């Protein structure tokens, strides 16, 4: 029987491993904040940031849940916000299984990954991140190219995979007026074609 040749496959998908257990805490408030007003809850949690950090260390809120590698007992906080006294209670409710394949795990990892990316101090445009401190300049064509990348999280069976793609941002080193004048010359003064060409373009200022 012939031995089958092994195929080595390289992809831009990487398995996300979490070496630290993540504990879950349900957030209850009195008076009750309805699920349609999550923004109000986040404002309260923002004002409680110092107290929460002292209790949990590193933590990540998501809707009416807080996730943290720190284990603690039930905790209660009191805060005044917009002339209303709130009681905010943290209730331990077990571990988050990152490899469970459940939507909760994917949502948490998505938020957590966004926090990590924000710490890179790159310039975010849409869902892409660019390093504007390491540009490649093409003075002859008045162009600058920023290197960057884009990511997405995907669930495959019980694994969360991070997809990383490289991308580039081409920045014109010309003013809007110069660009329009060039188009007017190219299109022999046809304003409709000029308007069609500039509509939807992004203008960046220094």
The tens digit of pLDDT for each residue in 143-200 reads 899 999 998 888 887 788 888 899 999 888 888 888 899 889 999 889 999 899 888 8
The answer for 126, left when phi > 0, alpha when psi is -120 to 50, beta otherwise, is left
Contact of 153 with 161, CB cutoff 8 Å = yes
Contact 29, 86 (CB under 8 A): yes
In order of their start, the domains of the chain are: 20-96 (3.30.70)
Alpha helices in 119-206 (DSSP H): 176-186, 191-198
CA 153/CA 206 separation, integer angstroms: 33
d(CA 53, CA 128) in angstroms, rounded, equals 30
Summarize pLDDT for 27-78 with one digit per residue, the tens: 999 999 998 999 999 999 999 999 999 999 999 998 899 999 999 999 999 9
H or E segment to which residue 52 belongs: helix 49-56
């Amino acid at each position: 029987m012939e031995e089958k040749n092994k195929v080595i496959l390289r992809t831009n998908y990487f398995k996300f491993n979490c070496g630290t257990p993540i504990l879950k805490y349900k957030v209850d408030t009195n008076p009750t904040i309805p699920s349609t007003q999550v923004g109000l809850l986040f404002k309260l949690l923002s004002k409680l940031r110092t107290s929460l950090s002292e209790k949990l260390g590193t933590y990540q809120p998501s809707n009416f849940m807080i996730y943290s590698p720190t284990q603690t007992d039930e905790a209660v906080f009191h805060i005044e916000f917009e002339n209303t006294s709130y009681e905010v209670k943290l209730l331990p409710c077990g571990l988050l299984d990152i490899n469970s394949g459940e939507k909760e795990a994917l949502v948490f990892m998505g938020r957590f990954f966004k926090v990590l990316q924000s710490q890179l101090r790159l310039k975010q445009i849409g869902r892409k991140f660019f390093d504007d401190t390491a540009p490649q300049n093409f003075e002859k064509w008045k162009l600058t190219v920023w290197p960057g990348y884009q990511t997405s999280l995907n669930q495959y069976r019980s694994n969360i995979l991070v997809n990383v793609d490289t991308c580039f941002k081409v920045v014109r080193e010309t003013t809007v007026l110069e660009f329009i004048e060039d188009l007017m010359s190219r299109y022999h003064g046809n304003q409709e074609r000029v308007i069609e060409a500039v509509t939807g373009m992004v203008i960046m200022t220094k």
